[in-house]
Each structure stands twice: as structure tokens, then as C-alpha cells.
Amino acid sequence: MVCALAREHKIPVMPAILSIANSCGFPIWPGLLSGAGTPPLPVTGFLLKPGESRAIDVPPSWSGRLWGRTRCSTDTSTGLFSCASADCGTGTVACSGSGATPPATLAEFTLDGSGGMDFFDVSLVDGYNIPMVVAPQGGGGAGTGGRCGATGCLVDLNGLCPSELLVIVGDEGVACRSACEAFGSPEYCCSGEYGGPDTCKPSSYSELFKNACPRAYSYAYDDSTSTFTCSAGTGYAITFCPSTTRY
């Protein structure tokens, strides 16, 4: 009803709230990147210690992505900040318009400020570095035919990652590359003659991701089971290393 009235009378939808929580046993540095044509956010990177959370207001018509950086530090000689996984390459905690360097678990949002539908997903298309779940909070539900529910990847894929995809720092696997990044082949990257849903099919590597995290995107054309929609005005809780085993 609220969204129907908003469409009919053009009642502005309030800014959405992204509630970001770190349930890992180690610090996370979330990064945020606004999509093309979307105003940049005032906050594009910050530290979350274990057990901490932070709420970020985003415009009602915002699109963009969010991810978690791990094993970050500042070089004492150069003063440059960097991360072992999902670094955004700015040399600072703020990502300032730069995206995550793959592999990275991504939460992606397209929010509708006109009273329509939000779209969101968790994507492993660019690989994986950390468990993440996105859960809607409040709002008016999914509407006709929509899927308004939690999505993400609860599993530590670094422990399941094939050796040819695993990113190792020191003696620890910190991320799992996509087959596209690892091999660059058109059939893995959905490019060239494989650049469409009829020709680009799941690979054994993407199926490993899909079997472990069935609601997350595993390759570029994994839309049918991996895109979720909620009515505009919904808030979203993003949790790194969620403790729950169900969603």
C-alpha cells in the first residue's frame, strides 16, 4: 500500500539504510562503490572490528556495491594502506570511487526511490573472499512475483577452493578466484562467442560455488536463482561471517 501510494502521488521514499555488521573473529574494512550515474557516498571505506556494526544512509535511488576487505595494514615506510583481499587500490581506507580488486564477495544493490522495486544480490562472479549475507529489514515485501528474502554465501569457500584458484598470502588462503580471472578463457568469462546466456553455461568451477552458496551468483547469467527484489523503502542488513546456518 505504501509503495502504491508513493507511485500514484509521487511521495518520496526515505533514504535506505545499510546496516553493516562484522561477525568475524578478525577486523573487516568494508568498501562501497556507487554505480554509474549515482552520486558518490560520503563514506566509501571504514574499519569494523569484530562485533562492531555501522549504519550507512544511502539515497533512495542509489545503485552500487559493497564488499569486505581483509588483512589490511598501513605500510610504515610509505604510509600506504592496502589489503590482502578485495583491496580497492587507493592507498587509503576510503575507496573513493574505486572498486574491489578480485577476488571479492560482492553485495550489489539497485534501489528504486520512486516507490517501485529494489533489486539486490550477492555475487561470486568476481570470486570470493569472505562469507556474507544480505537480509532485508522492514519495507513492504516483494510484491507480485518478487523474491524478498535473505541471500548470500555462508560457507568459507577458501577452505573448499581448488588449488588453481586459491589466493595464498603467507601460508593462508585468503580468497578464491573465479575461473575467468584465473584462466581468462572466453567460456569462463562469458565473452566473445560465449557472450550470451545461450552460449555461456555453468562450468565445473562455477558449479562448485553454486553448490556451496545456492542463492549467490556463481557466473554472469545465473539470474533465475540469484536476483532478489523488495519494495522500495526496505533497509538491508549486511553481515560478514554470519553465525546462522540458515537464511
- Secondary structure in 3-state letters for the chain: CHHHHHHHHCCCCCCEEEEEEECCCCCEEEEEEECCCCCCCCCCECCECCCCEEEEEECCCCEEEEEEEEEEEECCCCCCEEEEECCCCCCCCCCCCCCCCCCCCEEEEECCCCCCEEEEEEECCCCECCCEEEEEECCCCCCCCCCCCCEEECCCHHHCCCCCCEEEECCEEEEECCHHHHHCCHHHHCCHHHCCCCCCCCCHHHHHHHHHCCCCECCCCCCCCCCEEEECCCEEEEEECCCCCCC
Q: Is residue 166 part of a domain?
A: no
- For residue 113, CA distances in Å to 60, 100, 231 come to 4, 26, 10
Q: Is residue 116 part of a domain?
A: yes
Q: What pTM did the predictor assign? A: 0.90
Residue range(s) defining the domain that contains residue 96: 2-154+215-240
Q: What is the pLDDT of residue 4?
A: 42
Amino acid at 22: N
Q: Is residue 168 part of a domain?
A: no
Q: How confident is the model over 50-83, as pLDDT tens digits?
A: 999 999 999 989 999 999 999 999 999 999 999 9
Find out whether 65 and 58 touch, Cβ atoms under 8 Å.
Answer: no
Q: Is residue 193 part of a domain?
A: no
Q: Is residue 128 part of a domain?
A: yes
Q: Is residue 18 part of a domain?
A: yes
Q: How confident is the model over 173-228, as pLDDT tens digits?
A: 999 999 999 999 999 999 999 999 999 999 999 999 999 999 999 999 998 899 99
Among 88-92, 144-148, 157-161, the minimum mean pLDDT is found in 144-148
Amino acid at 71: R
Q: What is the pLDDT of residue 139?
A: 61
Q: Is residue 37 part of a domain?
A: yes
Q: What is the pLDDT of residue 10?
A: 47
Average pLDDT, stretch 7-18?
63
Quote the number of domains for the chain.
1
Q: What is the pLDDT of residue 142?
A: 55
Q: Is residue 84 part of a domain?
A: yes
CATH of the domain at 94: 2.60.110.10
